Amino acid sequence: MSIALAVQDQRDSVLMGGRPDFVGLMRAGFGNSYDVTTVSGQPLAADFAASIRRGLESASFRVTTVKVMDRARPETVASALAKTGAERLMVVAIDVWKTDTLSRTWLFYGVRVQVLDPRGQELGHAAVSGKDVLAGTEINLETTLPKAYTKKLEQLLNDPAVLRALGRAAESDPDEDDEDDR
């Protein structure tokens, strides 16, 4: 199956002209903060698109990434994706993504995914959001943050509604199915 993928950075700071490669803050002993940016130096949306593409391709999907403006309207995004001729259109929106490290590292996140058919009709959607404590300041941010990033993307893309929209059955507990049949 073919998928056209677009990722929009909907973080307030980016929409107001802030750095699209910003991912968080590292605070020194007195609370002075220093920006943390993507390791790649690319915008966060580009990193998301590359990661999602790799994951989908490893699951045997053919993926075309389409770059869209972060402020583009949903119908404009759907139209741009539909022009690829893909069987499914996937739009990912990053609403919140920020780490903050002082005595411990927090991850604040909010990411949505929507899967559409070629006409732009929604087939499924999912979202993950929250704030998680990753660990204390003794952690290696270069390994801990990518693991948290991967975990959140996997959680989002393995949501049963997304899997159904992509024509993949979610793995379920056989006992759970029995209860539904009663």
Residue 80 is classified by DSSP as H
Q: What is the dihedral of CA 158, 111, 150, 154, to 10 degrees?
A: 0
| Among the listed residues 73, 35, 67, 75, the one whose alpha carbon sits nearest the alpha carbon of residue 48 | 67
The count of domains in the chain is 1
Q: Is the pLDDT of residue 169 over 70?
A: no
**Which tokens is 157 given?**
């893309």
Tell me what the mean pLDDT of segment 89-106 comes to. Answer: 91
Model pTM? 0.87
How confident is residue 89, by pLDDT bands cut at 50, 70 and 90? very high
- Do 113 and 158 contact (CB within 8 A), yes or no? no
Residue 15 belongs to what domain range?
A: 2-181
- Do 93 and 68 contact (CB within 8 A), yes or no? no
CATH classification of the domain holding 31: 3.40.50
